[in-house]
């Protein structure tokens, strides 16, 4: 009998630490500084550097892992990401890789052939609600990083600013939705994020996401961007099935308008309104999580 957690410890962790140690060394950190950040001995970092620690090729070459390692290494090296934040990011990555049919689940099935065809999701629940909240915040940090590094995203930011949000699985109110405090703005052509994601800081985009979910959408994340007919055409060509709803100035009216629009098209992944008196035209892109929404928007830059 072998637990999925053993796969994480024996296969993922050595590979992940080896990649992260190398990335931090490439950014100029000493072996001791890397050891302190990773919570291991300096001799362990030396072994990682010499290739004396066994790694798993499927994990080492996975693009999500390599992208994640680069982002975490950047944050730890320049001080914009704490060790706790890095741990939350790694936890979120592990949960993604543990999903049925993904790399860690496949390794688990390889080591436990009896699992073939069982259709069981062995991902742990950790500390329940706390772990879910940390997972959402980690998703948002990853998504925001995508946007900050996306060439041209600033041109998609509306005058009121953008916000990238993700909600808890059982979200009911904006307090269950995390977003960027103060929104994301275009400052002289540069995407500017004022602070780290928090829960309960988005009113409008959170309202749109919750209203869409109320009407039957399974989306967990959303972002608002500037409206243009060309963007709507691009979304349609990409299969997002954009749906228009009337512009409303009051939150309750917006919630009702979105519900009505999504009720008629529950599979839509894009909503838009073309503006009105005192209301800027906006497009809302919906998705499974913040990184996938950010990646989708980045593809339209």
Q: Does one domain contain both 93 and 159?
A: no
Rounded distance between C-alpha atoms, residue 166 and residue 293, angstroms? 10
Residues 152, 237 within the same domain: yes
What is the full DSSP assignment across the chain? ---HHHHIIIIIHHHHHHHHHHHHHHTT--HHHHHHHHTS-HHHHHHHHHT-S---HHHHT-HHHHHHHHHHHHHHHHTSS-HHHHHHHHHHHHHHHTSTTSHHHHHHHHH-GGGTT--------TTTHHHHHHHHHHHHHHHHHHHHHSTTGGGG--TT-B-EEEE-TT--SGGGEEE-TT-BEEETTEEE--S--EET--SHHHHHHHHHHHTT----EEEEEE--HHHHHHHHHTT---EE----SSHHHHHHHHHHHHHH-TT--EEEE--BTTB--EEEEEESSHHHHHHHHHTT-
By residue range, what is the domain housing residue 294? 127-299
Among 68, 92, 115, which residue terminates a domain?
Answer: 115
Q: Residue 120 falls within a domain, yes or no?
A: no
pLDDT tens, residue order, the chain (301 aa):
777 888 889 999 999 999 999 999 999 999 999 999 998 899 999 998 888 888 999 999 999 999 999 999 999 999 888 888 788 888 888 888 888 788 998 898 888 876 655 555 555 544 456 668 878 888 898 899 889 888 889 999 999 999 999 999 999 999 999 999 999 999 989 999 999 899 999 989 999 999 999 999 999 999 999 999 999 999 999 999 999 999 887 777 899 999 999 999 999 999 999 988 888 999 999 999 999 999 899 888 7
Q: Give the pLDDT confidence score for residue 125 in this predicted structure.
A: 46
Torsion sign, CA atoms 155, 270, 172, 124: negative
Residues 156 and 268 in one domain: yes
Number of domains in the chain: 2
Residue 233 and residue 132 share a domain? yes
Exposed (0-12), middle (13-18) or buried (19+): which is 4, by Cβ within 10 Å?
buried
Q: What is the pLDDT of residue 126?
A: 46
Q: So what's the pLDDT on residue 129?
A: 61
The CATH number for 186's domain is: 3.40.225.10
- The answer on 140 and 109 residing in a single domain is no
How far apart, in Å, are the Cα atoms of 146 and each of 87, 187, 274? Answer: 19, 17, 27
What's the pLDDT at 87? Answer: 85
295 and 157 co-located in one domain: yes
Within a domain: 121: no
- Inter-residue contact 184 to 192 (CB < 8 Å): yes
Contacts of 51 (CB under 8 A, 6+ apart): none
- Give the CA dihedral 206, 70, 62, 146, nearest 10 degrees: 30
Same domain, 180 and 134: yes
Same-domain pairing of 133 and 278: yes
Q: Of 86, 115, 144, which one is at a domain's C-terminal end? A: 115
Residues 111, 133 within the same domain: no
């Amino acid at each position: 009998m072998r637990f999925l957690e053993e796969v994480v410890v024996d296969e993922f962790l050595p590979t992940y630490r080896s990649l992260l140690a190398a990335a931090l060394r490439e950014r100029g950190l000493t072996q001791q500084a890397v050891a302190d950040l990773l919570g291991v001995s300096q001799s362990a970092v030396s072994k990682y550097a010499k290739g004396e620690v066994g790694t798993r090729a499927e994990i080492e070459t996975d693009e999500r892992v390599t992208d994640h390692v680069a982002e975490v290494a950047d944050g730890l090296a320049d001080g914009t990401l704490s060790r706790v934040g890095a741990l939350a990011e790694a936890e979120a990555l592990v949960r993604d890789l543990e999903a049925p049919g993904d790399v860690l689940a496949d390794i688990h099935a390889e080591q436990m052939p009896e699992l073939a065809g069982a259709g069981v999701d062995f991902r742990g629940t950790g500390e329940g609600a706390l772990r879910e909240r940390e997972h959402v915040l980690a998703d948002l940090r990853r998504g925001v990083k995508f946007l900050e590094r996306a060439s041209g995203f600033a041109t998609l930011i509306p005058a009121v600013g953008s916000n990238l949000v993700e909600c808890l699985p059982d979200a009911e109110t904006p307090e269950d939705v995390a977003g960027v405090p103060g929104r994301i703005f275009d400052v002289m052509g540069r995407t500017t994020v004022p602070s780290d994601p928090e829960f309960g800081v988005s009113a409008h985009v959170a309202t749109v996401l919750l209203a869409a979910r109320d009407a039957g959408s399974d989306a967990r994340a959303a972002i608002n961007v500037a409206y243009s007919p060309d963007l709507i055409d691009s979304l349609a060509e990409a299969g997002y099935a954009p749906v228009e709803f009337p512009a409303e100035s009051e939150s309750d009216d917006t919630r009702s308008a979105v519900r009505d629009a999504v009720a008629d098209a529950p599979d839509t992944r894009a909503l838009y309104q073309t503006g009105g008196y005192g209301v800027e035209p906006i497009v809302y892109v919906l998705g499974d999580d913040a990184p996938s929404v950010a990646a989708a928007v980045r593809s339209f830059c």
